[in-house]
Amino acid sequence: MRFDVLTIFPALFSHYPREGVLGNALEKGLIEIHAVNIRDFTLDPHRTTDDRPYGGGEGMVMKPEPIINALESVERLERSTVVLLTPQGERFDQAMARELAGLEQIILVCGRYEGIDERVRALCIEREISIGDYVLSGGELAALVVIDAVSRLVPGVLGGERSTEEESFSDGLLEYPHYTRPREFRGLRVPEVLLSGDHARIRRWRRAESLKRTLKRRPDLLEKADLSPEDKVLLEQLRDQMQEST
Ligand code: ADE
């Protein structure tokens, strides 16, 4: 998977991806990240990337020529898409990450200031993505979020065990609670079932905890979740218990 990021702050892409899971993926050559400096494609001696908006008003707008020139400098692979990061985009989630992970190349355009000249959208942008309903200072953090979530789904990036865990989010539920040693910490004990060695019982407990957490914190996720008949029975019991306790 190849990511090409168009930005006026390319240095932002040289630290975060070098650590941890992404760092390993880069080293193994499973992903590539190319940061393209939009400023290198400006046409004036001052290397201007922004200008005042036509019609007046506050703030600056990113000029179209440097962005389009930068885009045209990027080699396009067959299965690729050009994404603009913007709070006006479609909301990013795990399903979208999975869809994007099926591509060979994602070209991420990071806006700054009030936005980019609308003609860039019209001419080149194939998809607009928002990482949530809040306004960041630019698309760079959002691009890193997309790169991280998509890279984890590229085959080989996570070890076998962890990719199974990833699958467990893909069924649309929140994760069950995790514990490691010591058995007791500041008076809080690890749930007995996890020490039992009874794998079937542990699996059932974890599933129930996942359902409980999702029901309490994110009931909206249950509508789209992948639930077995057993899950549905359990969920009804949990709903009844929750009602009794209120
Ligand atoms: N740029 C600024 N805010 C953003 C957001 N929430 N998502 C994606 N890109 C952005």
Q: What is the pLDDT along the chain (246 residues), one digit of tens a residue?
A: 999 999 999 999 999 999 999 999 999 999 999 999 999 999 899 999 999 999 999 999 999 999 999 999 999 999 999 999 999 999 999 999 999 999 999 999 999 888 999 999 999 999 999 999 999 999 999 999 999 999 999 999 998 756 655 565 768 999 999 999 999 999 999 999 999 999 999 999 999 999 999 999 999 999 999 999 999 999 999 999 988 987
164 within 8 A of 206, measured Cβ to Cβ: no
Distance 239 CA to ligand 1 centre (A): 36
Cβ–Cβ contacts within 10 Å for residue 74, how many? 17
Structure tokens at 214: 């999702």
Which single residue is written with the structure tokens 């045209």? Answer: 72
Which of 141, 144, 146 most suits a substitution to test ligand 1, by most atoms within 8 Å of the C-beta? 141
| Domain boundaries 2-151, CATH class | alpha beta
Looking at domain 184-245, its CATH superfamily turns out to be: tRNA(m1g37)methyltransferase, domain 2 (1.10.1270.20)
Give the position, in ligand 1's atom list, of the atom nearest the Cα of 86: 9
Question: What is the spatial distance between Cα 84 and Cα 126, in angstroms, rounded to a whole number?
Answer: 8
116 - beta bridge partners?
Answer: 62
The burial class, CB within 10 Å (0-12 / 13-18 / 19+), for 69 is: middle
Residue with the smallest CA separation from ligand 1 atom 5 is: 87
The burial class, CB within 10 Å (0-12 / 13-18 / 19+), for 20 is: exposed
Residue with the smallest CA separation from ligand 1 atom 6 is: 87
Give the per-residue pLDDT at 197.
Answer: 98
Structure tokens at 84: 């603009």
Residue with the smallest CA separation from ligand 1 atom 9 is: 86
Cβ–Cβ contacts within 10 Å for residue 51, how many? 13
Residue with the smallest CA separation from ligand 1 atom 2 is: 136
Q: Where are the domains of the chain?
A: 2-151, 184-245
Distance 143 CA to ligand 1 centre (A): 9
Question: What is the spatial distance between Cα 214 and Cα 195, in angstroms, rounded to a whole number?
Answer: 24
Alpha helix stretches (DSSP H) within the chain: 20-27, 64-73, 94-100, 118-124, 140-151, 160-170, 199-217, 219-222, 229-244
**Model's pTM, two decimal places?**
0.94
Q: What is the largest CA-CA distance in the chain?
A: 71
Residues at CB less than 6 angstroms from ligand 1 = 85-87, 130-132, 134-136, 139, 142
Question: What is the spatial distance between Cα 26 and Cα 172, in angstroms, rounded to a whole number?
Answer: 28
Residue with the smallest CA separation from ligand 1 atom 4 is: 87
85 within 8 A of 111, measured Cβ to Cβ: yes
Question: What is the spatial distance between Cα 208 and Cα 30, in angstroms, rounded to a whole number?
Answer: 36
Distances (CA, A) of 205 to 39, 99, 198, 201, 215: 54, 31, 11, 6, 15
